[in-house]
Amino acid sequence: MKKLFLMLLMVLAVGAKAVAENYPYRSDYLWVTVPDHADWLYKKGEKARVEVQLYKYGVPVDAVVKYEIADDMLPSDRKGEARLKGGRASIDIGTRTTPGFRDLRLTANVDGKTYKHHIKVGFSVDEIRPYTKEPADFLDFWNKNIEDMRAFPLTYTKTKAEEYCTDKVDCYLLKITLNKQKQAVYAYLFYPKGAQKVQCPVVLCPPGAGIKTIKEPLRHKYYAENGCIRMEMEIHGLNPTLPKETFDDMTKAFNGRDNGYLFNGLEDPDRYYMKRVYLALIRCLDLLTSLPEWDGRNVIVQGGSQGGALSMVAAALDSRVTQCIVNHPALSDMAAYSAGRTGGYPHFNRVEGMFNDKTLRTMAYYDVVNFARHITCDTYMTWGYNDDTCPPTTSYAVWNTLTCPKEALLTPINEHWTSDETEYRQMEWMLKKLR
């Protein structure tokens, strides 16, 4: 690890709500969980204790807390109860003999309602290695598919999106055709107003998982305000101007647990849904580097979750990429569940029969840990320990695989989110690294 910045955003954990929020959140009850190691990290064989606190309106609650303890994302192997005295109790969560994380899962019944919380701590995390192995023809597979894709000329339409233009930023809606079958992706392209030729770094931002519109297109407008051309893309070929209700209907119809796009074609690497998506990343970079305003040097990929995974895919497959900025990458060490280990999103273990010779073979061609082995550009990663979507075990599996120049921002308290401040600082890091 070349540079590792440990950032404890707060000691206060997320409360009863399913979604994680920065404190203060709107709840009468507040959980506080404090490991006896300030960095939440231990060595194998070292025991970990966590002080658990519960407050109502800021007043300690003397309640009985039920707990379960488990390896990261796996079924619990120990259960018990702790009685809070003065709103506090100390729970011994044991240790691990192998590298990884232990998860303390808490439940309290107070005033007729159930409040849940959890906290994960890590053991010898720098020794975490992926289960997934790289196919012998991994790069040949992808290079051949990129070559085939480029036989179809770069083709796109570009329309001014006035609703997202500001006094500092111009925005265009793009439809990028990918192949002779006319499959396409859409994107919003943000320019600094008055951008000149050979002036601007370009930034590709792939989306998080789901069938949805492009999320809050202006939320990262500060990239364009700071001189960059930024592309916010979608991956399904769905016009982002469609009504939200339409996307909701498509999600219900085509993105269930066992029929979603991430399951589509998983028996064959050449027929898997994500093949077109991964190739679309290269096509989008082709477009960005064809713009006369591109500075001819800097190509950045940036995203979180599925978008983080896709950013790493692009960085591995395209030598033009000069920086890779990633939050908690999905699609990482997906097959590890087949060996009884912690695996990554989309958690194929939750659907019976998903692991077999054919699906495991396909997963290897699409797993981020295999792409991580081929990233050479400057890379910046952020992840949280309490994440149950893209668990910290798999983020470390990716991080420990990277051999490129790399930096990390660890935010242990975080679940599957990053703060606005963290995302803005990523841009600041990017600007400092420009060529």
Q: Which residues are catalytic?
A: 305, 387, 416
Phi first, then psi: what are they for 6, rounded to 5°? -95, 120
- Residue 363 token pair: 């997963």
Query: Distance between CA 35 and CA 284 in Å, rounded?
Result: 44
In 241-377, at which residue ranges do the beta strands (DSSP E only) sit?
294-304, 323-327
Alpha-carbon distance of 98 to 64, in angstroms, equals 31
d(Cα 165, Cα 218) in Å, to the nearest integer?
9
| Amino acid letter, 86 | G
Any idea of the CA torsion for 347, 300, 421, 399, to the nearest 10 degrees? 40
Nearest alpha carbon to residue 367 among 254, 270, 278, 236 = 278
CA dist 111 and 113 (Å) reads 6
CA separation for the pair 372, 317 (Å, rounded): 10
Q: Report d(CA 18, CA 370) in Å as an integer.
A: 32
Strands 294-304 and 113-123: unpaired
Residue type, position 157, single letter: T
